[in-house]
Structure 1
């Protein structure tokens, strides 16, 4: 099998079997294309060996690519060769023993509970946009949603009486996420007082949060909403919608929540992704010791 044929088959696999979003598919194919160009057509996909891949990693490292970029490219290449093995195009996986660059995992910025309260309570509820923004940020913090999940949240998937949202996350996978009473309260106010006055565009009738033109909010708009709310509350940290998601998870772990439950709510495929919040929790405990222990 030649590279163009293998890449086309891998693309169909990513789209149809794994259900990845178009941007994710393009990212995989772009990284795989870099490997194909490096091998320059001299080595077919079914004859690639571990040494070829180490030479590729060494080359992209010398190009000055960051460790995280190298690790991402290696992840895509591993997925490709696993696909070839599953399709019986190869008997072995040359990436099985491949070791990528070590990553230093940066702990995300997190707001304290009092900072979250200041952020939410500082929003001006006298305007339609303020009422919507309060409801939206309450939902982000209450349920730990990604920004893409909140802008695509549908009314028909909000089960307020039961206290749950049905969210469509990465890879078009759906999950049930609990929502708190405060988030429900402010969302109901928005739905009752603000949303009915909008001229809702065709195709957005079921979208919960809309812009003033009656269409879905953009991701960038949500970033601006969070940034402006932080400035109004006097918060000096550089934050984004994702900060509310991190804060949601951190506050749960600090309160003693089971890590598997947090993983399910966040929609993480691997518990290893969720374990970062145990590190945040340890930092919180160390800070508590320093502040309150007489001999710290």
Structure 2
């Protein structure tokens, strides 16, 4: 099997059988493209089914020499393992060469978070006299009030808002749906945007059910939300590097700091594994440690 056919089949498998988003499929495809580039650069060019464990170890050294950081290497290897699992399932190979491949050791980086005061400062910097100011306030309040991923926010639909019972239905990774509680400030901001501003927007056909729209009446892109948050951080003079995900991290961190049950936080964030959510207990310990260092007379 040639590389192009293998990659095309892998993409179809990820879309149809794994129900992954287009962004995830593109990320996996880029990982396999890198392995293809490596194979193509070798004296003897190898087809996907002829790659061995030794070849894969050579590939790891290659991407390491390119200056790729361990976390990026680990993500690429995850894509390659998924690719060979697919080839094994399709009987293209009889044994998985990536089975004994070890990922590089990576330090688990604690995500940046915002304090409650910093979040209020950013929201206060919005110009609410402009229609997009009302929309952006609803966006920030929803990100912080429900801990959504940015992709979940852009795909949020009016038909999935149950504001009377303080819940929203979210479509997360792998098209899995979950019900997430939403705070009163977020509900208030959403209602103001939907009932007083959005209702006057021209709306493009097919986009009628999306909550957050741009001036042309189409759903917002993730990039616009990233840029909006970056601009607000600059306006308030925030030195931290923040993104929409920072609001999600802050949502989870503040819940854990307040004593929320980790399983409940896992459910709200839509994490498959509790170990992913456990990072917030480490964050909480860091917060406690900094508190002692700051306020204890013996520190």
Calculate the TM-score normalised by the size of structure 1: 0.90
Report which stretch shifted further, 224-233 or 93-102: 224-233
Inter-partner Cα distance in structure 1 for 2:244 and 2:66: 33
Runs of 5+ consecutive residues of structure 2 not aligned to the other structure: none
**Counterpart in 2 of 1:12?**
12
**Counterpart in 2 of 1:149?**
152
- Asked whether 1:59 is paired with 2:62, we answer yes
- Asked whether 1:104 is paired with 2:107, we answer yes
**Counterpart in 2 of 1:38?**
38
Inter-partner Cα distance in structure 2 for 1:56 and 1:229: 41
Inter-partner Cα distance in structure 2 for 1:11 and 1:124: 43
Residue by residue over 1:193-236, the C-alpha shift from the partner in whole angstroms, topping out at 9 and shown as x without a partner, is: 11111122222211112223322222222223223433444433
Match of 1:78 among 73, 78, 81: 81
Inter-partner Cα distance in structure 2 for 1:196 and 1:93: 55
Following superposition, the deviation at residue 4 of structure 1 comes to: 4.2
Q: Secondary structure at the match of 1:34?
A: helix
Report which stretch shifted further, 208-217 or 282-291: 208-217
Inter-partner Cα distance in structure 2 for 1:42 and 1:125: 60
Q: Secondary structure at the match of 2:195?
A: helix
Following superposition, the deviation at residue 47 of structure 1 comes to: 4.3
**Counterpart in 1 of 2:273?**
270
Inter-partner Cα distance in structure 2 for 1:131 and 1:235: 22
- Asked whether 1:280 is paired with 2:283, we answer yes
Calculate the TM-score normalised by the size of structure 2: 0.89
**Counterpart in 2 of 1:121?**
124
Inter-partner Cα distance in structure 2 for 1:186 and 1:135: 5
**Counterpart in 1 of 2:200?**
197
The 1:193/1:79 distance shift into structure 2, 3 A limit, reads same
Match of 2:176 among 162, 173, 176: 173
Task: Number of aligned residue pairs: give it.
Answer: 296
Runs of 5+ consecutive residues of structure 1 not aligned to the other structure: none
Q: Secondary structure at the match of 1:161?
A: helix
